A and B are shown apart, each in its own frame.
Chain A
Amino acid sequence: MIKKFGIAAGVVLLAVIIAATGCPPQAEPAPADFYKGKTIDFVVAQSPGSAIDLISRVVASHLGSGTGASVIVANREGAGGLEGMNYVYKAGPDGLTMGTVASSKFVGNRVLNDPAAVYEIEKFSYIISIDRQSYYFFVSPEGPYQSVVDLQAGKDLKLGGGSPSGSVCLGGLTVIKLLGLEAEVITGFGSESDRALAVERGEVIGYCLNMPNARASVEAGMVKPMFVLATERDPLTPDVPAITELVELDVEDLALARLWETALAGSTLCIASPGIAEDRLAFLRDIAEKLTQDEGFRAEINTVSGYEVQSYVTGEELAAAMLDTVANLDDFQAIFIELIEKYRA
């Protein structure tokens, strides 16, 4: 009896060993199957109601339909969005954590080497970039500064800034450098309406910002765009000149202006955590690319943006552009740190 049991147990053990070693490992499910029924943690590194938040919610909703996953959107705007960026960066490489960030802040944190930004730009998995919002320089429609000549003739000018390391401040510093102004950037204005009101009161003469965020102030007649901080006009406002039309820039300044139409331009970057499997990334990129050709999706993006969004950049192109940015990061870092020391009040 015992002998028979021993033989049977031996056979079973042998079968298990053969099964374990001889069978091929269980294949990873195809991405389309993997995402079905799963939950995607979708982080928006901006405050609720911001332009990026509204775009993100449209993207998240369509991404959910495309993947078959439930998408839970959460705003992690803390520390100027750093909380969300770090969160996505530190998440596991399973492809279930993704989110959206403002490119200017995303790149700006690295440009200024913010110690709280633990991420490395080149390591993220890039899915798509939506829109490319140029930065404009806004002034009062009835103030004393209506042209670059007026600005250059001014003394002790004050420009409005937001966070000391934010894109509004960096944009202002760039304008001071490119136009050679006798000016400084006053940081600490809490919101766009704070800055617009400060312009209306004459506390500051103007500030740099992208058009979607300044739209309400422009439509209320509090500010108007003087020029675009770029080398070409923005199709959104064909009547507003590019800064290069108004002043002649040397090679270094031209490179700085170009940075504002590439890496620092206000785009909504849809990213996933680093290291996700290539087939899953390709699957997500494919869904995103198809979305950009879907009229319904584009119409919703246009509705929340308030204008016709022209620029959609694929994940592959975006990843390549980010690598390019990282390659030149040191040069820009030195320029901005010098500008902050000289012109930030």
Chain B
Amino acid sequence: MLEAYGTAIATLFQPINLLILFAAVIVGLIVGVIPAIGGLATLPLILPFIFRMPAEIALILIVGFHAVIFTSSGMTSILLNIPGTAPSAATMVDGFPMTQRGEGGRAIGAAVTSSMAGGVLPVFLALAMVPLVLPLIIALGQPEMAIMILLGISFLAALTGGSITKGLMAGMLGLLLSFIGYHAITGVHRFDFGTIFLYDGIELVPLVLGLFGLSELFYLIMKGETAIAQKAITKLSGVMEGAKDVWRHRWLWFRSTIIGYVIGIIPGIGAEVANWVCYGQAKQTSKHPEKFGHGAVEGVIAPEAADNAKEAGAMLTTMALGIPGSSVMALFLAAFLMVGVTPGPAMMVEHLPLALTLLLGIALANIIGGVICLFAAPQLARVASVHFDFLFPVILIVALIGVYVATLSPMNFITVLAFGILGLAMKVYGYSRPALILGFVLGGLLERYSLLSIKIYGPLFFLRPIPLTMLIVMALLLSYPYLKRGISNLRGRLSGT
């Protein structure tokens, strides 16, 4: 094993490989910053070029490229309230209010550090995890997945904002919206009005861009603001304050990294879920949940840690088992096969030095990408004080181009506008937009896994041992604040008597 590590380090640090990795990191960072465009839209453009490359160079290229997309995508969410990639939308909820307070640099510092460390730690967990991954995935059948998604939906309670009723209404609207389109189990067309545009349902990217990005700009202009923040802290020390925040909230970071990593390992949950679930648990376990949504740095740290960790988890499942857990990982699988490397259990034996080179490449790419972002952050934070007359048209055009590139449908401009108006109304009248997103992201998954469970195991599928245990744990988690209050009341009474 030590010999394999030595070979991997020697391979990675060959000048040509380092150069390729560095170039891939730069391109990955740029792709991450451009709104709405992620690896899924850009990796297919790289694939044709890797045919004739040696396997290690080709794979270092795509691994380095993909590893940092989520590191930089959080910056667009924080500064402009527009997600660089769909999963990084959760970062906007607290990142953008920090920018409005002039603390964009600090938010970026926290996001980048959390994301970078969240991408590095799983690399070192990877080899220890290999023997555990398959039993874990096998244990999680359709009923277990249904209950896990239900657990995710229970975080709606934490995302409701001021009013629980309004928050739940927003969550239910998200669930309803997720049911639009061709039903993958029954074959029924639902609410698509016979159009092919709604055949696959509403796309997440334009929904998020409208609901958060556009509506926020409308709101600021309505309020007569001339810039996102009147004064922005643009010193490196401000950025480093964010990095220190990660250390201050290191247990939250660690918890979110592990949750993101496990969600990433399990195929079929989806990249968006990890960030929102981590955001929800951060708020639920915080001593000051009321600060969330108004610029709490924990609300930036949690989703950003999950962001890169889930990709590392998905990469492990793809490499070690040959099971791609997401569309992006399917592209990775294709890339491996194209250069003559077959991912799967044999890869961790026959191509162990290559596997280790790639894992270490992910760690190194994260470090390089993170450092670049940290040093670029003070300059980028200046965007918050640019006058809206200049900023608004640029954001609008770049965002709409991003939507078009990601979806190839001009109809989605209407989606952005419609959800922009809905988002504005929700903001003005105090309905939680994160709750809507969580309902939307998890609704389709809950329906799918529940129906599959019923068809395979019958209506009492939740009485199987693992789902039942998970339900009991979920009930305990949800009632924990009440139990804690009850116990302390009881203690108080006992000590009083």
Contact = CB atoms under 8 A, between A and B. Distances in A.
Interface of A: 47-50, 53-54, 57-58, 61, 73-76, 78-80, 82-83, 86, 115-116, 158, 162-165, 186-191, 193-194, 196-198, 200-201, 203-204, 215-217, 219-221, 300, 303-304, 306, 344-345
B48 interface: yes
Nearest to B144: A201
B48 A216 contact: no
Interface of B: 40, 43-44, 47-48, 51, 137-138, 141-142, 182-187, 194, 196, 199-200, 267-268, 321-325, 327, 330-334, 337-338, 340, 342-346, 408-409, 448, 451-452, 455-456
B184 A203 contact: no
B334 A191 contact: no
Nearest to A43: B408
Contacts of A78: 196, 199-200, 409
Contacts of B187: 163-165, 187, 344
B40 A48 contact: yes
Contacts of B455: 158, 186, 188, 345
A193 B456 contact: no
Contacts of A58: 48
B19 to A, nearest CB: 25
8 contacts: A49-B333, A75-B44, A80-B182, A82-B199, A188-B455, A194-B268, A304-B337, A345-B455
A53 B200 contact: no
B362 to A, nearest CB: 19
Contact of A201 (B51, B138, B409): B138
A53 B44 CA distance: 9
A116 B142 CA distance: 30
Nearest to B327: A47
Nearest to B330: A49
Nearest to B405: A74
Contact of A220 (B43, B321, B330, B337): B321
A220 B185 CA distance: 27
Contacts of B138: 197, 200-201
A49 B327 contact: yes
A121 B346 CA distance: 43
B342 A79 contact: no
Contacts of B321: 220
Q: Please list the 9 inter-chain residue pairs (A to B) with the smallest Cβ-Cβ separation, ordered nearest first.
A: A164-B187, A188-B185, A49-B331, A79-B199, A48-B44, A216-B322, A220-B322, A193-B323, A49-B334
B295 to A, nearest CB: 37
A241 B475 CA distance: 52
- Secondary structure of the A contact surface, majority rule: mixed
Contacts of A198: 141-142
Nearest to B145: A194
B82 to A, nearest CB: 23
A116 B323 contact: no
A74 B406 CA distance: 10
Contacts of B322: 216-217, 219-220
A203 B141 contact: yes
Contact of B324 (A86, A165, A191): A191
A303 B196 contact: no
A186 B452 contact: yes
B196 A116 contact: yes
Given A74-B408, A116-B194, A197-B137, 20 more contacts: A47-B327, A48-B40, A48-B43, A54-B334, A54-B338, A57-B47, A115-B194, A158-B456, A164-B187, A188-B184, A188-B452, A190-B448, A191-B267, A191-B268, A197-B323, A217-B323, A303-B51, A303-B338, A306-B337, A344-B187
A191 B451 CA distance: 16
A15 B64 CA distance: 68
A271 B448 CA distance: 34
Contacts of B408: 74-76
A48 B331 contact: yes
A190 B325 CA distance: 10
Contacts of A193: 267-268, 323-325
B327 A186 contact: no
A80 B448 CA distance: 17
A188 B451 contact: yes
Contact of B267 (A49, A188, A197, A300): A197
A164 B346 CA distance: 34
Contact of B51 (A49, A196, A300): A300
A70 to B, nearest CB: 14
Nearest to A201: B141
B200 A79 contact: yes
A220 B44 contact: no
Contacts of A217: 322-323
Contacts of B185: 164, 187-188
Contacts of B343: 216
Given A190-B184, A197-B138, A54 B47 contact: yes
Given A204-B456, A219-B344, A220-B322, A49 B44 contact: yes
A278 B148 CA distance: 57
B323 A220 contact: yes
Most chain A beta-carbon neighbours within 10 Å: one of B187, B325, B343, B455: B187
Contacts of A162: 184
A83 B331 contact: no
A75 B330 CA distance: 15
A14 B491 CA distance: 110
A266 B268 CA distance: 25
B333 A188 contact: no
A220 B456 contact: no
B184 A61 contact: no
A190 B183 CA distance: 12
Contacts of B346: 219
Nearest to A203: B456
A28 to B, nearest CB: 31
A188 B448 contact: yes
Contacts of A86: 196
Contacts of A83: 196, 199
Nearest to A76: B408
A77 B43 CA distance: 16
B200 A191 contact: no
B272 to A, nearest CB: 15
Nearest to A86: B196
A80 B181 CA distance: 12
Contacts of A53: 44, 334
Contact of B48 (A61, A76, A164, A204): A61
B182 A79 contact: yes
Contacts of B48: 57-58, 61
Contact of B323 (A49, A204, A216, A304): A216
Nearest to A112: B187
A36 to B, nearest CB: 22
Contacts of A73: 44
Contacts of B324: 191, 193, 216
A306 B335 CA distance: 11
